[in-house]
């Protein structure tokens, strides 16, 4: 089996030991593509890259880093893709700017207010645009590797409605907003998968109860842990769980 993995840092899993710098892509030796490939007995070509946006599927993200879709060819049997959260700065706003706005109105929802323009939410609107881009990219994957099983791997639940904790320091009213954006990130990928006849791997549902504020988090909080995971990125336990979902989906 020839397996190509595409996507962003939720695929490459930076700081999940051991990390290969990979020309800036920060791929873990224990990310879910590596674990799934071993379980499937597949030959892996991992093109996931931290910070990737959908445009990096067709253009070079860093020097000596080819467009991710260049790996997708007629002989490929399995393609997994998890991307889109970096488009429009959605993930960065969610994890960086929202905490910075907390001081303006600790009991309110200053981030949600800041993201509202003309009666529309900028992050949710950006995700609608991203869905169109991901859908187009998936159609291209199917064209390039018509015999391949194509799995769209969703984002995990980082924050649940009703959660609040110092690991994700938001204003009180912004926790519900963050949960809404987190859900929208996953839904965006699910809809793109459905529109292209790809299979959706529902990490969001599988990770419920394992957000940053839980007793058993699958995603790191606001502080980089050099031995476990980058800030707001998956721990090894999440990557193992996702690998199991990918293997099950690949076997059909």
What is the C-alpha separation between 136 and 130, in angstroms, rounded? 10
Residue 121 pLDDT class (50, 70, 90 cuts): very high
Is residue 106, in this structure, part of any structural domain at all? no
Q: What is the CATH number of the domain that holds 63?
A: 3.40.50.1110
Residue 94 pLDDT class (50, 70, 90 cuts): confident
Whether pLDDT at 18 is above 90: no
Is residue 230, in this structure, part of any structural domain at all? yes
C-beta of residue 175 within 8 angstroms of C-beta of residue 163 = yes
What is the C-alpha separation between 46 and 68, in angstroms, rounded? 9
Whole domain around residue 215: which residue ranges? 2-87+128-155+187-251
Is residue 173, in this structure, part of any structural domain at all? no
Is residue 63, in this structure, part of any structural domain at all? yes
Q: What is the pLDDT of residue 126?
A: 97
pLDDT > 70 in the chain, percent: 100
Q: How many domains, the chain?
A: 1
Is residue 105, in this structure, part of any structural domain at all? no
Give residue-wise pLDDT tens across range 28-53. Answer: 999 999 999 999 999 999 999 999 99
Whether pLDDT at 65 is above 90: yes
pTM of the model: 0.96
Whether pLDDT at 252 is above 90: no
């Amino acid at each position: 089996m020839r397996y190509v993995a595409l996507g962003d840092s939720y695929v490459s899993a930076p700081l999940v030991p051991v990390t290969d710098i990979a020309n800036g892509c920060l791929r873990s030796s224990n990310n879910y593509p590596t674990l799934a490939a071993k379980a499937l007995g597949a030959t892996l070509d991992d093109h996931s890259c931290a910070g990737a946006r959908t445009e990096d599927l067709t253009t070079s993200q860093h020097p000596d880093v080819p467009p991710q879709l260049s790996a997708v060819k007629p002989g490929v049997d399995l393609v997994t893709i998890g991307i889109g959260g970096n488009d429009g700065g959605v993930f960065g706003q969610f994890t960086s700017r929202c905490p910075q706005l907390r001081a303006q109105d600790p009991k309110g929802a200053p981030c949600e207010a800041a993201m509202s323009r003309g009666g529309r939410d900028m992050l949710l609107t950006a995700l609608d645009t991203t869905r169109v881009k991901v859908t187009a990219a998936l159609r291209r994957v199917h064209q390039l590797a018509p015999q391949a099983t194509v799995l769209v791997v969703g984002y995990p639940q980082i924050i649940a409605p009703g959660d609040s904790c110092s690991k994700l320091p938001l204003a009180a009213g912004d926790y519900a907003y963050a949960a809404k954006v987190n859900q929208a990130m996953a839904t965006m990928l699910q809809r793109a998968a459905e529109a292209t006849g790809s299979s959706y791997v529902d990490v969001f549902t599988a990770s419920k109860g394992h957000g940053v504020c839980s007793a058993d988090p699958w995603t790191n909080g606001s502080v980089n842990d050099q031995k476990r995971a980058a800030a707001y990125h998956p721990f090894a336990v999440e990557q193992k769980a996702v690998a199991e979902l990918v293997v099950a989906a690949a076997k059909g």
